Amino acid sequence: MYRFLLTPRWWGINIFVVLTIPFCVFMGSWQLGKFEDRVDTHEEAKQQPAPGEQKAAPLDELLPVDKETSGRQAMATGRYGKQFLVPDRELDGERGSYVLTLLKTDGGRTLPVVRGWLPEGKPAPAAPGGQVTVAGALQASETSGTDGVHTAGGLPSGQLGMISAASLVNLVPDDVYDAWVTLADAGSGLKAVPASAPEGSGLDLKAFQNLGYTGEWFVFAGFVLFMWFRLVRRESEAARDRQLGLEPEPV
């Protein structure tokens, strides 16, 4: 009755099932592992002091920015130079701009410094003159997937859509750090921009997306197995009916 399983058509179906189910299980396990990694990272972070509470350190000692150093207080000394507005940034439910000023450090490299957030329509205050020492929360360069990033282009002169060394390379002649800092003490007329958590850490939306994808892969594996059994049952019933003369033989 089950000799049909050895026909060429069923060989193709069987091979598809044999390959698909392990692949779905592998992908589901991989997504579950990603979720568990985020949970472990979240638990480890809870055991550590908050980045802002740790002792400030020289900027170069905290680079490159990773999950351990993101949010740490970084110190740098230099002179403020060119200034940009980073538009379409939200703070406390209001739209405005980040005031980004470039700090030419004593080491010769340039550090982007977000001095604060400015409401729409307000003029940006000038940066302090002379030699300054800044201490701010260290942040990784933004990417096109970062919340609030303006990627459409066509911004007016003096505005910047993304805070990154790549977006500044054609605007300033200096070597720019692949990082930036946000100051806790904003200047007059500005609000301090809080540091954001590093990507890939904590129980954020992406973590629960990993958990959702885990369920989807396992459900799909179960669906493939269910459909295989259903097809086998239907084919075996048809073969039995043909043996009993209840259904004509296929031409």
Q: What is the pLDDT of residue 8?
A: 82
Q: What is the pLDDT of residue 251?
A: 47
What is the rounded CA–CA span in Å between residue 249 and residue 239? 9
Could you give the 3-state DSSP secondary structure of residue 30? helix
Q: What are phi and psi of 211, to 5 degrees?
A: -65, -40
What is the rounded CA–CA span in Å between residue 143 and residue 149? 8
Among 153, 50, 172, which Cα is nearest to 100's? 172
Q: What is the pLDDT of residue 151?
A: 64
195: exposed, middle or buried (Cβ count in 10 Å: 0-12, 13-18, 19+) = buried
Domain boundaries, the chain: 3-43+204-243, 71-183
Q: What is the pLDDT of residue 199?
A: 61
What is the rounded CA–CA span in Å between residue 186 and residue 242? 84
Residue linked to tokens 């954001």: 196
- The reported pTM is 0.64
Could you give the 3-state DSSP secondary structure of residue 8? helix
Q: What is the pLDDT of residue 200?
A: 54
What is the rounded CA–CA span in Å between residue 26 and residue 24? 5
**Residue by residue, what is the 3-state secondary structure of 182-241?**
EECCCCCCCECCCCCCCCCCCCCHHHHHHHHHHHHHHHHHHHHHHHHHHHHHHHHHHHHH
User: Contact, 150 vs 78, CB < 8 A?
Assistant: no
Model confidence pLDDT, tens digit, residues 62-75: 999 988 888 899 99
Q: What is the pLDDT of residue 187?
A: 74
- Please identify every stretch of the chain with a pLDDT value under 70, giving residue numbers as ranges: 1, 42-54, 148, 151-153, 198-205, 245-251
Q: What is the pLDDT of residue 186?
A: 79
* Element containing residue 131 per DSSP (H, E): strand 131-140
